[in-house]
Amino acid sequence: MRILISNDDGIQANGIHALAKALSQHHEVYVVAPEKEQSAQGHALTLHHPLRAVDFTEKFNKEGANVQQALAISGTPSDCVKLAITTLLKESPVDVVISGMNHGPNLGGDVVYSGTVSAALEAAMNGVPAIATSAFDGYNPLFDYDDACRYLASVLPDLVDLLKHSSCMVLNVNVPAVEAQYYAGLKLCKLGHRMYSDFYEKRQDPRGITYYWLAGELVQTGSHAEEDVEAIRNNYVTVTPIHADLTDETVYTLLQGKL
């Protein structure tokens, strides 16, 4: 397969290098990713300044990958995927876009903010099958991305087969915080619930100017067996189909004839 890889952690992140290394052993791989971290950028696009590209191909291949090309883009995750699909790889389209592997989970409502998920959604909106991948323990500097990415590469044919059921669907995949030998397998899940005690800390910089820093922590999660939050606790690799159509079909039907 011809595969485009992107992410929101930036082109030098451990997760994207491990993913490129694992996938390029058996597939034709291209990397187009942000030049720096773009976490929680959602589906933002750059409108008011040009996008610049720097070649990272040699760096990827020196680290054990075998990619065709790797470019760092001065934009968001969605910029990277849109640029790659519509321009850089337009003459030779890819078969699938894989975003990740993200440093940290994208479970439940996290997907609304996630640049990783938005990069995959951008691909789907342009007619290309896409998968968003995240590591539950990715914040741990000792997390074994190679292990997780090799597993993802081994189940990729199964995931791509699932994508054939919808032209605008994205699979949101999360890997648990255990070694691959302890994965309980792939599990189809709904999005769960993750709540945070969000607040902004008021601070002052060295010049006495006030600024605010978003803080908080995870305080509550769902516990339903069919949800991704609970399944990953039980060491499943969770697979959740999502799409960009935000229409509430149930309510739409109820409201027909009322307006």
How confident is the model at residue 226, as a pLDDT?
87
What is the C-alpha to C-alpha distance for residues 105 and 218, in angstroms, rounded to an integer?
Answer: 12
Q: Extract the tokens encoding 253.
A: 């039907």
For 29, residues 6+ apart whose C-beta sits below 8 A from its C-beta are: 3, 4, 5, 20, 23, 65, 66, 67, 68
How confident is the model at residue 118, as a pLDDT?
97
What is the C-alpha to C-alpha distance for residues 70 and 24, in angstroms, rounded to an integer?
Answer: 12
How confident is the model at residue 220, as a pLDDT?
61
How confident is the model at residue 204, as a pLDDT?
94
Superfamily of domain 2-191+224-245: Survival protein SurE-like phosphatase/nucleotidase (3.40.1210.10)
Q: Extract the tokens encoding 7.
A: 């992410």
Q: CA–CA distance from 122 to each of 97, 100, 128, 175, 187 (Å)?
A: 10, 14, 9, 22, 24
Per-residue pLDDT tens, the chain, 259 aa: give them: 999 999 999 999 999 999 999 999 999 999 999 999 999 899 999 999 999 999 999 999 999 999 999 999 999 999 999 999 999 999 999 999 999 999 999 999 899 999 999 999 999 999 999 999 999 987 787 789 999 999 999 999 999 999 988 877 899 999 999 999 999 999 999 998 877 777 889 999 999 999 998 887 776 666 787 899 999 999 999 999 999 888 888 999 999 988 8
Residue ranges with strand state E in 36-137: 53-55, 69-73, 96-103, 130-135
**Per-residue pLDDT tens for 219-246?**
666 678 789 999 999 999 999 999 988 8
Is 229 within 8 Å of 195 (Cβ atoms)? no
